[in-house]
Amino acid sequence: MADHFGVSRTPVREALQRLAAEGYLSIRAKQGCFIRDIDLAEINQYYEVRIALEMRILELIGKQMPIPELHRLATMWDPERTPQRGPAVEMMVARDEGFHLALAAATGNTVLASYLKDVNDHIHIVRRLDFTAAERIAPTYREHYEVIQRLLARDVSAARTLLEEHIRRSADVAKEITLAQLASQRAKAWKLP
């Protein structure tokens, strides 16, 4: 791979080790690297951890996140500002993750924010599928905006309910797309001569 990309072995080795650490590859000594199968049960577990972390985040910031910061987020996620053409998938994923990480950062608890980032890293590939469905972009803007509005009203309970529904909806769409893609790949594999 290093020769193919014209780089030294060190960055390739580090990239492969990171992919293995994030659960995408299995590295077997003297055999090579192998792409891991998608484990939906494991993905569900990561989403459950994500929900638990984000519910705690809302408890911590619900009554203390500065109003100007909430207004800034509200402006960013105002449904009236939803792009007519969906942004590139990676840009939307980064924007979405940025929203959730901004809430985590507002807690002042760097460990909590770090754990949320780690969970997001583990489900990044699946999360990005949510935004390949163009019909998820406008609802994401609306759902984030509604959470922020509840935080502005200091209604933490309603914000938690909305955020949990948002994450579960996003997970469901991503899992549906994952299953459809897996079924498509299996169908193609059966058609090989």
Domain boundaries, the chain: 2-36, 40-183
Confidence (pLDDT) at 118: 94
Question: What architecture (CATH level 2) is domain 40-183?
Answer: Up-down Bundle (1.20)
- 30 Cβ contact list (under 8 Å, min separation 6): none
Q: What is the pTM assigned to this prediction?
A: 0.80
Confidence (pLDDT) at 193: 56
What pLDDT digit, counting tens, does each position of 40-93 carry? 888 899 999 999 999 999 999 988 899 999 999 999 999 888 776 666 888 888
What pLDDT digit, counting tens, does each position of 117-139 carry? 999 988 888 888 888 777 888 89
Confidence (pLDDT) at 192: 57
Confidence (pLDDT) at 132: 79
